[in-house]
Amino acid sequence: MKRMMFLAILSVSVLATSAACAHGEKGQDVKVYAAAVVKAPLAAIAAEYENATGHKVIVVLDTAGATEQRFRADPEAALLITTAPLIQNAESRGALRDGTATLLGSTVAGVAVTPGLEKPDVSTPEKLKAALLAARRIAVSDPARGATVGAHFMKVIETLGVKDEVLRKIAFAPDGLETTRRVVAGEADFGVSQSSEIVQASRDAFAGPFPREFALATNFSLWHRDNISPVAADFAARLTSPAGRERFAAEGIIPPGTR
């Protein structure tokens, strides 16, 4: 009789434990690889999710290109946030497969200056050229590490005919977060990055977008495999919910269909 009672109690305990895990009561990790452009809104949504569920969101930030590569190399990675073209390219060559991509929004390339300094007019190619020649130290995200704006900027200064002069002033940063940090801290008086990265670092640092002739709008998407865990799927749903999109919009990520 005692043995039967023990087995009954053990069965109830196992069932209760299984039910708790199925409902996500046991804390789980969700690992997210994301382009630095979404740092602020992603951190805020992750903190709210952790407080509400007890699960932990691990965020790894990098350039758009490095993010996609590191995500593919990590078997524990659950979610990827990077540029839509990078995701589409990886899907087309089979590097990303059996997954779903959802557009989060877009951002534009822009110019940052140290808060407190006079903001240059960069609204035309001629004025942008003058501002670049007047700048003493320029921070740019390293195109060799997959920086979207950094690669675009190299083409811009070549078109403007000031490549040699500008390169002498550039200190390449590992990503957009470091680019804007250097500008805000006064370590560089001029920088180029995604507008949302600039705004998230300091709204006073944003001098304006690139001129229309050099405009660069970049779409960012969320990608995940179709067989991710229920917890990861739940967090993904929060990112793309109306509340999640509002959070992204408040930090300079333009919602889909509004640009």
Instruction: Report the alpha-carbon angle 156-166-131, nearest 5.
Output: 75
Looking at the fold, whether 101 and 150 belong to one and the same domain comes out as: no
- What residues in the chain have per-residue pLDDT under 50? 1-24
Count of domains observed in the chain = 2
Residue 159 lies in a domain: yes
Give the pLDDT confidence score for residue 3 in this predicted structure.
40
Give the pLDDT confidence score for residue 27 in this predicted structure.
78
Task: Report residue 78 as tokens.
Answer: 């659950």
Residue 76 lies in a domain: yes
Looking at the fold, whether 159 and 226 belong to one and the same domain comes out as: no
Looking at the fold, whether 207 and 225 belong to one and the same domain comes out as: no
Give the pLDDT confidence score for residue 19 in this predicted structure.
33
Residue 142 lies in a domain: yes
Residue 145 lies in a domain: yes
Dist. CA 130–CA 6, nearest whole Å: 83
Residue 21 lies in a domain: no
Looking at the fold, whether 172 and 88 belong to one and the same domain comes out as: no
Dist. CA 231–CA 41, nearest whole Å: 19
Looking at the fold, whether 118 and 202 belong to one and the same domain comes out as: yes
What domain range is 206 assigned to?
107-217
Which pairing describes strands 190-194 and 99-113: parallel, antiparallel, or unpaired?
Answer: antiparallel
Looking at the fold, whether 111 and 198 belong to one and the same domain comes out as: yes
Here the CATH number for the domain that contains residue 170 is 3.40.190.10
Give the pLDDT confidence score for residue 33 in this predicted structure.
98
The enclosing H or E element of 166 equals helix 163-167
Give the pLDDT confidence score for residue 5 in this predicted structure.
37
Could you tell me which residues come within 8 angstroms of residue 125 by beta carbon, excluding any fewer than 6 positions away?
159, 160, 211, 213, 214
H helix count then E strand count, the chain: 11, 9
Residue 12 lies in a domain: no
Residue 22 lies in a domain: no
Looking at the fold, whether 132 and 144 belong to one and the same domain comes out as: yes
Looking at the fold, whether 135 and 70 belong to one and the same domain comes out as: no
CA 99 to chain centre: 19
Looking at the fold, whether 226 and 101 belong to one and the same domain comes out as: yes
Looking at the fold, whether 120 and 155 belong to one and the same domain comes out as: yes
Looking at the fold, whether 111 and 207 belong to one and the same domain comes out as: yes
Residue 13 lies in a domain: no
Looking at the fold, whether 112 and 212 belong to one and the same domain comes out as: yes
Give the pLDDT confidence score for residue 252 in this predicted structure.
86
